[in-house]
Amino acid sequence: MLSISVPATSANLGPGFDSIGIAVDMQLTLQVIAPSTHWQIDHPFGDEVPHDERNLIIKTALALAPTLAPHHLQMASPIPLARGLGSSSTAIVAGLVLANELSGQGRSLDDLLAVATRMEGHPDNVAPALFGGLVVATYVQERVHAVKLPLPNLFASIYVPNEELLTAASRDALPAQLPFKQAVAGSSIANTLVAALATQDWATALPLLEADQFHEQYRAKLVPALATIRKVAHQMGIVGTYLSGAGPTVLTLGDYGQLNELQQQLRQEPTLTGQLHLLPVDATGVKVQKS
């Protein structure tokens, strides 16, 4: 039996808009049950998500290997849809790895990253899903440049609202242009953040996660939990809270003890009715097991 596991991802780390992502230990798992006369995928998301070749995992697999023989698949995932934890990216990565394994094409992870980035439009979610850990990446002239940084010895406090926030709606909240001075400031903050992450200077990096100039201030009205969580964290002396992906998930990086205390306080907030998770960073990315 072939089994594929892909971690959830959190992108847009502060000012790292469309360029910095981290993998967390919440896994989509995909099992190949057996060959079949038609494509079928069992999953827990109901009839709103297709169970046939229209499913994103299967569509992605067939985009990479159009002659792939049909199989019966089983997918399980606690990664919530349309919440900013890379649910579509994990599906794309799972589909590409599925096609790579079943077809015997032998493509490298770098090859799969190039394909995944073309499908997603940017690499900040798919890169950590493939490689694990903390990845800084960009897509220039149809070429992906990705750098995996030293694994942060940090945990993630993740607040997932009950309400979806579709990427399209979140994108619509962004301005068409930024003032030059603001763009320069945002770039300066992002550059310094990358240097701090690369040297594991968390005292510098964590506050910079809260200094984004590109998207958070425009999306904040769509995600009131961001201000609430950041306020509670600051009252406890904790910095490092940011909007995960396009939202509405809010993520805080820190050490386990601090974040455990933070979550105890967040559970007392009446407006925070969603789900809390306290997870380590996933170090390895996509995993393939054969039995």
Residue 168 has pLDDT above 80, yes or no: no
Q: Is 208 annotated as a binding residue?
A: no
pLDDT at residue 167 in the model: 73
- Measured over the CA atoms of residue 219, residue 203, residue 255 and residue 267, the dihedral's sign is negative
Residue 37 has pLDDT above 80, yes or no: yes
Q: Is 279 annotated as a binding residue?
A: no
What average pLDDT does this structure show over 20-43? Answer: 97
Query: What is the arrangement of strands in the sheet containing 275-280, beginning at the earlier edge strand?
Result: 241-243, 250-254, 155-160, 275-280
Residue 171 has pLDDT above 90, yes or no: no
Quickly state the pLDDT bin for 72 (edges 50, 70, 90): very high
Using one digit for the tens of pLDDT, what is the confidence trace for 135-148? 999 999 889 999 99
End-to-end, the C-alpha distance of the chain in Å comes to 5
CA 12 – CA 29 distance, rounded (Å): 24
Quickly state the pLDDT bin for 249 (edges 50, 70, 90): very high
Residues 6+ apart with CB under 8 A from 171: 246
Domains 2-149+282-290 and 155-280 agree in fold: no
Using one digit for the tens of pLDDT, what is the confidence trace for 179-193? 999 999 999 999 999
Q: Is 10 annotated as a binding residue?
A: no
CA 181 – CA 177 distance, rounded (Å): 12
Q: What is the residue-averaged pLDDT of the chain?
A: 95
Instruction: For 155-280, give the CATH class.
Output: alpha beta
Q: Is 84 annotated as a binding residue?
A: yes
Q: Is 271 annotated as a binding residue?
A: no
Evaluate the omega torsion of the peptide bond into residue 123 and state whether it is cis, within 30 degrees of 0. Answer: no
CA 68 – CA 85 distance, rounded (Å): 29
Residue 227 has pLDDT above 80, yes or no: yes
Above pLDDT 90, what percent of the chain? 90
Residue 219 has pLDDT above 90, yes or no: yes
With CA atoms as reference, report the closest residue to 25 among 210, 285, 276, 279.
279
What CATH code is assigned to 2-149+282-290?
3.30.230.10
Q: Is 83 annotated as a binding residue?
A: yes
Quickly state the pLDDT bin for 272 (edges 50, 70, 90): very high
Q: Is 50 annotated as a binding residue?
A: no
Q: Is 89 annotated as a binding residue?
A: yes
Residue 102 has pLDDT above 80, yes or no: yes
The domain ranges of the chain are 2-149+282-290, 155-280
Tokens 């090859």 appear where?
A: 111
Q: Is 80 annotated as a binding residue?
A: yes
pLDDT at residue 170 in the model: 84
Q: Coil, strand or helix: which one is 86?
A: coil
This prediction has a pTM of: 0.94
The answer to whether the CB of 92 falls within 8 A of the CB of 120 is: yes
Query: What stretch of H or E contains 235?
Result: helix 224-235
